[in-house]
Amino acid sequence: MLRATLSRIRDSGMLLKGKKCDLFRLQLSFLGHKLTREGLLPDDKKIAQVKAWPTPHNSKELRSFLGLASYYLKFQKDYATTAAPLYALGTQGTPWAWNADHQQAFERLKDGLTSAPVLAHPQLPGSPLVLTTDASLEASGCILSQEQLGEERVIAYHSRKFSKEQRNYCATTRELLALVVGIKTFHQYLIGAPFVVKSDSQALQWLRNFKNPDGKLARWIEFLSRYSFTVLYQRGATLTNADALSRYPLRPCPPNCKSCARTEQKEEKFKAEAMAAVCFTQLQADPNWQPPALRRDQLADSAIGPILRALEEGRRPDPEDAAAMGSEARALWLQWASLQVEDGVLYRRWEHPSGEPHRNHLQLVLPRVRVQETVKKYHALPGTGSHFKVTRTMAKLRERFYWPQAFQDCRDIIAGCTECGRAAGTKHHRAPGPMRVMNDNTFLGRWAVDLARHFPPPVDSPQYAAAARSSSRRWYVLVCVEHFTGWPECIVIQGADAETSARAIVDNIVARYGAFPVLHSDQGRNWEAAVFAEVLRLLQIRRTRTSGFYPKGNSRAERFIQTLIKHLTVVVAHNQRDWPSWIPLILLAYRTAPHSSTGVSPAEMLYGRMLNLPMDLVREPPPGREPVVLEKDYPRWLRDTLRQIHDDARLHRGEVSHKMKQNYDVHASIFRGQPGDRVWLYRPVRRTGQNRKLIRAWDQWRRKYRSGCAPSTPQNMTGCAQHTPF
């Protein structure tokens, strides 16, 4: 059967997505049902709403449940006997007293409603499906059923609570919404075949005759036009099944409800943020910000005091007198027409650039003694400034205060904010220092290593397919580049631990090219591990590392990884599962191309000759590329050739390095620091459970050595006792 099914799919040209196919399953959920070897059973998700019906708390809720149960009593054994205690309790005038017998009857009825014989599977083709819908003030309910063997069998239940806005709809709109919800829920059953809709709303019978529908009504009617159905009106008294689902009682959640806990956390967070946002009102209520205190500080100010007294006396000082008061007093004197006194305090009338009078307001003329405190509060106070930069902080201050040279003061105070400096620092504003050229002129003397990370499992690569299917570890490419020749090696590995990395280097680098003096890498965990360090010690290899958070220090490996990724992007298949198969060909292309730093290809630097490319095998070699004739003195010839190539490469590299340094140093600067100077040190220490984007990566340190005497590393600095702005 399986072979026949797959053959038909193949012959029809259809494609199957592997991760969406299941084979040899004992049971399978499909189209709302559970398929087993024994037969077809209802999906538990479809009847979860009925199973979760809460225990009734009054007669009204009990009658809603009994209405649903009685509609399908013909499918339940001993229904009258089972439901007798509930009917007795629900009788009008009977005091409400729920006991164990009632609870047992309630649970048995729920089990009967949701047992396998109740929910039938649709018989298609067959009689039309029936969608019964109803809407109350709180929710909508719908039941999908079909007449089978002369009786109506339920296929699925569904009910949904209305939102706050939807509860305000009129009765007709709620009934239409219930119909839309029901059809969307059972779309896979109803699309493409005629069906019947039963509702207790007569207005739905004239659904297609609504005049000039707009808004949501037009959208709903347009959606319903895709389906072929007939609306049958049925009185609400006889439509107890869907009516009961629409009146599903809503209960408070249990004390340990996770959803409510998250809601409470959000409410508490909102309260905390709201309190922080209004905390500046305490500043305004402070006696130091009342008119008497403000007037005292203004009169004591050397610039504001004379202007305030002159304004109260009604006489404007002469220009000579204003100039003698100082630049700040003269700035106020020039705005004499905009100044006014309210409650003994000097204000400035500010006109909005839009020219709208209602947007004009008064600005408090701020005394110099209050500038520092005010700017800091509007810059750093939670909810008020939250450490915004100069532009936004100044915009808030301009709405409330005025003083001469306000922008310059705001800029200088914010520049000295320690918290802003620790979070952002000056990494992107400091000019770089002069370039230090490091020429590695030793043949096979230094290898740079790095990892290209997180490649998809290479299931389409014959060499690695078995390992990719048997393990879920991540795949990496270990990149090794020899500094002098530029010769690259790429090693596909599974996992990036220290043992795997060390084994790959020994098997692919040391075993082929011999032990080398220096290995250069970043400060990754695999390179810093004790296992890797022990391997290097046994091989007598010295390891150098880049500065922290400075990948340019390993530019050889980093740049080749960019080249590798760029070329893999061009050639890999759409599913990206064949990438290891392309790496050897990319290496061949790179090794045979001249390198910008040496002027010759890595292959010539290593072998003393050019490597043949695939195209060289189908045509004659170009002039000057004839094969080397092997002679008795070939070793001497090869040695002389390599010596000449290496000497030329060293000369070419020196010229390129000198030119590169000249271009780089045009924008370089030298930090003339002295011992004891405070400096910003970039140290983004990340701790478990913290977001790296929220780390304060900059800290203040005191310099221990003068510039140029020792490298500026953390070992050469000692921390400041106090972090004060500078």
Q: Where along the chain do its domains lie?
A: 42-114, 120-251, 277-377, 446-638, 678-719
Name, in order, each residue with C-beta under 8 angstroms of 134's C-beta and a sequence gap of 6 or more. 140, 141, 142, 175, 178, 199, 200, 236, 239, 242, 243, 245, 246
Question: Is the distance from CB of 304 to CB of 367 less than 8 angstroms?
Answer: yes
More confident residue, 110 or 652: 652
Burial 546-572 (b: 16+ CB within 10 A, else e): bbeeeeebbebbbebbeebeebbeeeb
Q: Of 43-47, 321-325, 448-452, 587-591, which gets the smallest average pLDDT?
A: 43-47
CA distance 293 to 499: 72
CA distance 592 to 606: 11
What's the confidence (pLDDT) of residue 469?
Answer: 80
**What is the rounded average pLDDT of the residues 433-441?**
78
Can you give 531-582 as a three-state secondary structure string? HHHHHHHHCCCEEEECCCCCHHHHHHHHHHHHHHHHHHHHHCCCCCCCHHHH
Name, in order, each residue with C-beta under 8 angstroms of 341's C-beta and a sequence gap of 6 or more. 308, 311, 312, 347
The token duo for 706 is 């003068």
**What is the rounded average pLDDT of the residues 263-271?**
55
| DSSP H helices in 551-670 | 555-571, 579-591, 602-607, 634-665
What's the confidence (pLDDT) of residue 709?
Answer: 42
Percent share of the chain, pLDDT over 70: 75
Residue 105 is inside which H or E element, if any? helix 100-113
What topology is assigned to 120-251 in CATH?
A: Nucleotidyltransferase; domain 5 (3.30.420)
User: Is 531 a residue whose pLDDT tops 90?
Assistant: yes
Question: Terminus-to-terminus CA distance in the chain, angstroms?
Answer: 81
**What is the rounded average pLDDT of the residues 84-109?**
82
Are 120-251 and 446-638 the same fold in CATH?
yes
User: Is 71 a residue whose pLDDT tops 70?
Assistant: no
Domain 446-638 has CATH 3.30.420.10: yes
Question: C-alpha angle with apex 200: 197 to 201, nearest 5 degrees?
Answer: 90
User: Is 268 a residue whose pLDDT tops 60?
Assistant: no
User: Is 199 a residue whose pLDDT tops 50?
Assistant: yes
What's the confidence (pLDDT) of residue 386?
Answer: 63
**What is the rounded average pLDDT of the residues 284-297?**
80
pLDDT band at 75 (very low <50, low <70, confident <90, very high): very low
Residue with token string 């029936």: 130
What's the confidence (pLDDT) of residue 724?
Answer: 34
CA distance 527 to 549: 15
Cα–Cα distances (Å) from 715 to 436, 682, 696, 702, in that order, read 20, 13, 20, 12
Residue with token string 């191309």: 593
DSSP reduced 3-state for 246: helix
What's the confidence (pLDDT) of residue 231?
Answer: 86
What's the confidence (pLDDT) of residue 452?
Answer: 92
Question: Is the distance from CB of 541 to CB of 519 less than 8 angstroms?
Answer: yes
| Cis? peptide before 125, omega within 30° of 0 | yes
More confident residue, 348 or 617: 348
More confident residue, 277 or 404: 404
**What is the rounded average pLDDT of the residues 545-559?**
86
**What is the rounded average pLDDT of the residues 593-614?**
85
Question: Is the distance from CB of 494 to CB of 500 less than 8 angstroms?
Answer: yes
Q: Which CATH number fits domain 42-114: 3.40.630, 2.60.40, 3.30.70, 3.40.50?
A: 3.30.70
CA distance 280 to 383: 9
Which amino acid is it at 213?
P
- What is the DSSP pairing of strand 229-233 with strand 195-199? parallel
Which amino acid is it at 76?
Q
- The C-alpha torsion from 237 through 240 and 244 to 245, rounded to 10°, is -130
CB atoms within 10 A of CB 490: 20
CA distance 714 to 703: 10
CB atoms within 10 A of CB 314: 6
What's the confidence (pLDDT) of residue 429?
Answer: 47
Residue with token string 């040279």: 405
Q: How far is CA 395 from the centre of its chain?
A: 31
pLDDT band at 238 (very low <50, low <70, confident <90, very high): low
pLDDT band at 274 (very low <50, low <70, confident <90, very high): very low
What's the confidence (pLDDT) of residue 118?
Answer: 53
> Rounded mean pLDDT of the chain?
78
Q: How do residues 340-367 score in pLDDT, each as one tens digit?
A: 898 899 999 888 666 767 668 888 999 9
Picking from 352, 347, 322, the residue whose alpha carbon sits closest to that of residue 334 is: 322
Count H helices, E strands: the chain?
Answer: 28, 20
CB atoms within 10 A of CB 217: 15
- What is the DSSP pairing of strand 40-42 with strand 129-135? unpaired
**What is the rounded average pLDDT of the residues 71-89?**
63
Q: Name the strands in the sheet holding 678-682, side by side, starting at the edge strand that comes first in the sequence.
A: 678-682, 698-703, 717-719
Q: Give φ, ψ of 682 to 5 degrees.
A: -85, 110
Which amino acid is it at 313?
E
Q: Of 75-84, 190-199, 587-596, which gets the smallest average pLDDT?
A: 75-84
- Which of 109-118, 133-142, 487-496 has the highest mean predicted lDDT (pLDDT)? 487-496
- The C-alpha torsion from 288 through 294 and 298 to 304, rounded to 10°, is 130
Long-range CB pairs of 47-52, under 8 A, 24+ apart, other chains included: 47/113, 47/114, 47/119, 47/156, 47/157, 49/157, 49/158, 49/159, 49/245, 49/248, 50/110, 50/113, 50/114, 50/157, 51/110, 51/114
**What is the rounded average pLDDT of the residues 245-255?**
56
Question: Is the distance from CB of 411 to CB of 393 less than 8 angstroms?
Answer: no
- Which of 44-58, 209-223, 377-391 has the highest mean predicted lDDT (pLDDT)? 209-223
Q: Environment class of residue 385 by beta-carbon count within 10 Å: exposed (0-12), middle (13-18) or buried (19+)?
A: buried
User: Is 400 a residue whose pLDDT tops 80?
Assistant: yes
CA distance 655 to 16: 59
Q: Of 205-219, 222-236, 261-275, 353-367, which gets the smallest average pLDDT?
A: 261-275
- The residue count of the chain comes to 726
What's the confidence (pLDDT) of residue 508?
Answer: 95
More confident residue, 271 or 378: 378
- What is the pTM for the complete model shown? 0.45
More confident residue, 626 or 147: 147
- Which of 20-34, 60-74, 131-145 has the highest mean predicted lDDT (pLDDT)? 131-145
Cα–Cα distances (Å) from 33 to 24, 28, 122, 131, in that order, read 18, 8, 10, 18
CA distance 158 to 50: 9
DSSP reduced 3-state for 52: coil
**What is the rounded average pLDDT of the residues 513-526?**
93
Picking from 156, 144, 173, 138, the residue whose alpha carbon sits closest to that of residue 247 is: 138
